[in-house]
Structure 1
Amino acid sequence: MRTRAAALLLAASLAGCATPEPAPRPPLPGPDRMVLQPISYDRLPGWSEDDTAQALPALLKSCNRITKLPVDRSIGFEGLGGTAADWYSPCAAAQRVAAGDHTGARLMFETWFTPWQVTNEGRTEGLFTGYFEPEIRGSRQRKGPYTQPIHGKPNDLVVTKAGPEEPVIGRMENGKLVPYHTRAEIERGALAGKAPVLAWTDDPVDLAIMHIQGSGRVRLDDGTVIRLGVAGSNGHKFVGIGKVLKDEGKLGTDTSMPAIRAWLKANPQEGRTLLSRNPRYIFYSPNPATDGPLGTEGVALTPERSLAVDPRFVPLGAPVWVDSLDPAGRPLRRLMMAQDTGAAIKGPVRGDVFWGAGETAFQIAGKMKSPGRLVVFLPRARSPRLAQVDER
């Protein structure tokens, strides 16, 4: 592959005027390539029915972060969302909308944002799943049934690259960077003396599910609750336990997360062995937010209004329109905010809906696997950016 730089003007006119179509995103390794197509609000199925005012609190959380950035800071990979300064006026307009004012909220979005259909080389349909915030039992001390550690970030973890793509993670051994310990190695004690233990839990299955979901809450034996956010990972590729169980012939037709959890708890010994087939391991840190788990964007997630996306394509902090189905097969057409990411969330038309906390959210999130379409809202006025074009 040869790469050259070319100026791609992602110019946008003032609000209310026609906006030229953004240039196609630069190709990335693999088959995915995002191309945005113009679409009008009246072509968004369910746009007039959704209570868009319910999305305003989530938008304002992102606005609070973006408007504190330097004015020329790019928003999204290769500045697809313009600069922080381009968000000042839309965010100020959002703050002026009264709580619960659905009509005012909808008019604000229509005035300040332009909708773009997200496609993967022209293909509009993608996959939408769900996730939730687990709550597991725990203790500050290792005692009784509490034998499973919840680790903080190890002191020998090395991150050598940051950016929109997966960072290179490992540890130094004899002066060379080598892959970090796998889940199986960590469970055999590889982190001894290297990582703090934030709490101890009594159920390895619940802990593994929390690793899959990301953030979580621990209800301690003294009655208090601590909220934990993701501090990093061991850098290994995620392997879904559902696929492992399916390949082993352990599950029937129901491959939802509730069915997976039930099988693992019914078969604890074999389940531990199979769980170790996912080499990825998550490290945690205390989450200071009180109104929800922190997403990758750094803001607290809002149930049913926050979406995990692939940040190589969709800018974190951008409003997005989801047109999909809930686990019951009912239309799920809703304005959300791109505020989180996930190891399994890859590709332009890919989303993971945050359903909230607790068992009800788990049952919904664990069963969601629906086709759908995605529309990203970008400020009508965006600054031109220099992008990279790959020639194959």
Structure 2
Amino acid sequence: MKKRISVSTYGLAVLCFIFILSGCKSAPEKAKTPYDRPLPPGQFALRKITNPQEIPDFTMACLDLAELQAGIARSINYLQKPSSRQYYPAGQITHSMAIESLKAFDEMLDSGLAGPQLNQAIRERFDVYISIGCDDQGTVLFTGYYTPIFDGSLTPTDRFRYPLYKQPEELVKGPDGEILGRRMPDGQISPYPPRAVIEDSLMLRGKELIWLGDPFETYIAHVQGSAKLRLSDGQITTVGYAANNGHEYRSVAQELVNEGKIPEDRISLTSMMDYFRRHKDQISRYVRRNARFVFFQEQEDGLPRGCLNEPVTAYRSIATDKLVFPRGSLTFITTTLPRAVGGQAVNQVYSGFALDQDAGGAIRAPGRCDVYMGVGDVAGKLAGQTYQEGRLYYLFLKQN
């Protein structure tokens, strides 16, 4: 018979005391990764990979080339415009490197190369550059954006009371499109007012482009940079980004997390919309913390466009910081992205080619990248659930 093991009352007391003490110790707070860390002065956002073993395997991406050539054609169209030259060189990347690389890649696709053969051709003909990321080790945070579809009206009604505005004439831009401010009656240029002042002063009265039925929907359009509006007759009209008031972007999502309104592990566009449906009285208080205000223009062809004024393509267009990355260029991304599977958003390991065709108010520095997810509610759900680290690469023809 096995001997029974007993624990004395004293032993139990000691064990309980140790347990209580250990329970009182709070776990050290995990430091937040500084994805928005600015590029250090004099440093390039891209680093050329010189060790062949560090070049990613493109094979899986070479098996999924849908819509890629359409995206390449749009980047080539942009780079063929004389105005595109003003943004080059971008770091060590010249204008000719960018456009010649796109044309060469397009020719390889025309030849029918795919899978392992295309992977090999890329490795032989192209240099691969990696974003230094937020930590100089290549860490990039990938998020998602999309084009929402909302009900709207060309005229104000009892239901549709919240306008999107056209760009005002007094908004002054610099040669590179940067916002300089507001031209005053005496000719002087002063900073353009923030969101709260714009809304309270009604200074944009007469500049209404279209009206929406929910104040947070107008804010979503501001953040996403475009929207499709379903009118009462069933017609769909598209509005896109024209300019902003020059103020820095501040994340409403982060504000909600900071104040405990939505847990950090549940924050998404969907959870934000649900929250503000239940707390409409809080919409203005939160959105006004983001002083940036966006102006819109009608897109006659109905195609959502990026900052290059070229149409964007789901999973083939990305938004980056155009102050540090070469616009229009061919990229390769590796991360985890949600895909629509049976009506559900399912996270999957992802690698694919994309074109750097857009920018975003929240997308600053080498450690951030926004992936365009498409149009409508499903795309919105995917965009709202995209928040993963990964790697961002750029491909350029080898230089003789």
CA contact (8 A) 2:45 2:91 kept: no
Compared with structure 1, are the counterparts of its residues 217 and 39 closer, same or farther at alpha carbon in structure 2 (3 Å cutoff)? Answer: farther
Pair 88,211 (structure 1): closer, same or farther in 2 beyond 3 Å: same
Distance in 1 between residues matched to 2:90 and 2:329, nearest whole Å: 14
Listed one character per residue, the Cα deviations across residues 96-138 of structure 1 (whole Å, up to 9, x for unaligned) are 7349853476566445532112214732112110000111111
Gap regions ≥5 residues in structure 1: 1-26, 383-392
CA distance in 2, matches of 1:96, 1:320: 16
Q: Letter of the aligned partner of 2:142 in structure 1? A: F
Matched residue type, 1:140: L
Question: 1:197 & 1:75 partners in 2: Cα distance?
Answer: 32
Tell me, yes or no, if structure 1 residue 339 matches structure 2 residue 384: no
Q: Which residue type is aligned with residue 256 of structure 2? A: L
**Distance in 2, Cα, partners of 1:322 & 1:48:** 13
Change in Cα spacing, 1:243 to 1:90, as seen in structure 2 (3 Å) is closer
Corresponding residue of 2:240 = 229
Task: Quote how far apart the aligned CAs of 1:79 are.
Answer: 6.0
* Distance in 2, Cα, partners of 1:368 & 1:247: 20
Structure-2 residue corresponding to 1:296? 307
**1:53–1:101 Cα contact (<8 Å) kept:** no
- Note closer, same or farther for the CA distance 1:346–1:272 as it changes in structure 2 (3 Å cut): same
TM-score (normalizing by structure 1):
0.80
Q: Indicate the structure (1 or 2) with the bigger Cα radius of gyration.
A: 2
What does residue range 150-189 of structure 1 map to in structure 2 within 5 Å?
150-159=164-173, 161-163=174-176, 166-172=178-184, 175-189=187-201
Identity %: 25
Q: Report the number of matched residues.
A: 351
Alpha-carbon offset, residue 39 of structure 1: 5.2
Could you give the per-residue CA deviations for residues 305-342 of structure 1, whole angstroms, max 9, x where no partner exists? 11101112221111111111124442121111111011
Query: Contact 2:90–2:326 (CA<8 Å) still a contact in 1?
Result: no
Alignment map for 1:162-311 (pairs within 5 Å): 162-163=175-176, 166-172=178-184, 175-193=187-205, 196-253=207-264, 254-290=266-302, 292-311=303-322
Distance, in Å, in 1 between the alignment partners of 2:202 and 2:89 is 35
C-alpha distance in 1 between matches for 2:337 and 2:56:
15
Once the two structures are superposed, the pairs formed by residues 67-216 of structure 1 within 5 Å of their partners are 67-69=80-82, 73=85, 76-78=88-90, 80-84=92-96, 87-88=99-100, 90-91=102-103, 94-95=106-107, 97-98=109-110, 102-103=114-115, 106=119, 109-110=122-123, 112-120=125-133, 122-159=136-173, 161-163=174-176, 166-172=178-184, 175-193=187-205, 196-216=207-227
Asked if structure 2 preserves the Cα contact closer than 8 Å seen for 1:40 and 1:115, the reply is: no
Task: Give the letter for the 1:361 counterpart.
Answer: A
Quote the residue 1:352 is aligned against: 370
Cα deviation for residue 65 of structure 1 reads: 2.2
C-alpha contact (below 8 Å) 2:146/2:372 kept by paired residues? yes
- Asked whether the equivalents of residues 217 and 227 of structure 1 are also in contact (C-alpha less than 8 Å), the reply is yes
Amino acid at match of 1:134: P
Question: Whole-Å Cα distance in 2 between the matches of residues 278 and 74 of structure 1?
Answer: 30
In 2, Cα distance between equivalents of 1:310 and 1:206: 25
Deviation per residue, 1:146-205 (Å, 9 max, x gap) = 11111100122122x3438x5433342655422212212222243344x52111111111
Rounded Cα–Cα distance in structure 2 between residues aligned with 1:97 and 1:213: 31
Distance of aligned partners of 1:364 and 1:217 in 2 relative to their CA distance in 1, 3 Å threshold: same
Which amino acid is 1:267 matched to? Answer: H
Distance 1:41 1:342, change over 3 A: farther
Give the counterpart letter for 1:310 in structure 2: D
Q: Which has the higher helix share?
A: 2
Normalising by structure 2, what TM-score?
0.78
Structure 1 window deviating more from structure 2 (31-40 vs 129-138): it is: 31-40
Residues 1:63 and 2:76 aligned together: yes
Question: How far does residue 246 in structure 1 lie from its aligned partner after superposition?
Answer: 2.0
For 1:264, the aligned partner's letter is: F
Range 233-242 or range 88-97, more displaced: 88-97
Where does residue 394 of structure 2 map in the other structure? 376
Structure 2: where are the runs of 5+ without partners?
1-37, 339-345
Give the 3-state SS of the residue equivalent to 1:330 in structure 2: strand
- Per the alignment, do residues 32 and 252 of structure 1 end up closer, same or farther by CA in structure 2, a change over 3 Å counting? farther
1:271 maps to amino acid: I
> Aligned partners of 1:41, 1:74: CA distance in 2, in Å?
33
